[in-house]
Amino acid sequence: MENQDSKSKIVKETFPSELISIIGDILAGILLSLLILPFNSFPVLILMVPALLSLRGNLSGPFIARTSRDLIIGDFSKRTWIENVLATYTLSIFTAIFIGIFSIILNFAFFKLFILPTVHFILIPIISIVLTLLISIPCSTGLNYLAFKKGLNPNNIVNPVMTAIDDFSTVFFFLLTIIMLGVP
């Protein structure tokens, strides 16, 4: 059972990180809305956004947890980190494909909008998530390492901060992807 000191330490470490997460998520949502609203394909694009943001959190969260665990137990090595990165990318790509397929099904079942080529429904999530992970993995690894070296528990700090960073990255790379693909 935890004593009062460890409970207060957890709150002191976690609360500022959670504030960053909340403020960052609100700003990322506002930015996303403003940036993709002018696109003609907005009704179709908006189908992917919740799943992409959820995917990002569901995959980078376990990556962060595994990295911090390895640091805490002293098992952090280049080999375990590379395995963790490869597992995260593999899961990301498979899940992004599923998001694309599910978006196609929803579009044809409910909206019947033929604004985008079908392949774009698959490419947008894959490209967006792969590019987001290019930022997320080094940032989360670095933050885990810094928190651990400063004597803080990375599990209390890194995940909320990375939520904000990852959501902004996802918004940016989502927008970049739709521009690169020439989405109307």
Q: Report the share of the chain in percent with pLDDT over 70.
A: 97
| 4-180 under CATH 1.10.357.20, yes or no | yes
pLDDT score at 1: 42
Per DSSP, the three-state class of 40 is coil
Is residue 157 within 8 A of residue 147, CB to CB? The reply is yes
Residue 74 backbone zone (phi > 0: left; psi -120 to 50: alpha; other: beta)? left
From CA 66, how far away is CA 148, in angstroms rounded? 13
pLDDT score at 104: 92
Domain boundaries, the chain: 4-180
Q: Which of 1-5, 27-31, 69-73, 107-111 is most confident?
A: 69-73
pLDDT confidence tier of residue 69, bands split at 50, 70 and 90: very high
| Residues 121-141: tens digit of each pLDDT | 999 999 999 999 999 999 999
pLDDT of residue 4 exceeding 60, the answer is no
Is residue 160 within 8 A of residue 17, CB to CB? The reply is yes
pLDDT score at 89: 95
Lowest mean pLDDT among 79-88, 149-158, 173-182: 149-158
H helices, E strands: number in the chain: 5, 0
Token output for 43: 């009704």
Name the CA dihedral angle for 97, 100, 101, 107, rounded to a multiple of 10 degrees. Answer: 180
pLDDT score at 74: 93
> For residues 40 and 142, which has the higher predicted lDDT (pLDDT)?
142
pLDDT confidence tier of residue 3, bands split at 50, 70 and 90: low
From CA 64, how far away is CA 111, in angstroms rounded? 37
In the block, tokens 């909008």 appear at: 113
Q: Report the share of the chain in percent with pLDDT over 90.
A: 50
pLDDT of residue 82 exceeding 70, the answer is yes
pLDDT score at 184: 87
The CA-based angle 40-45-46, given to 5 degrees, is 110
Q: What is the mean pLDDT of residues 163-167?
A: 89
Mean pLDDT, the chain, integer: 89
The CA-based angle 52-56-60, given to 5 degrees, is 170
pLDDT score at 102: 92
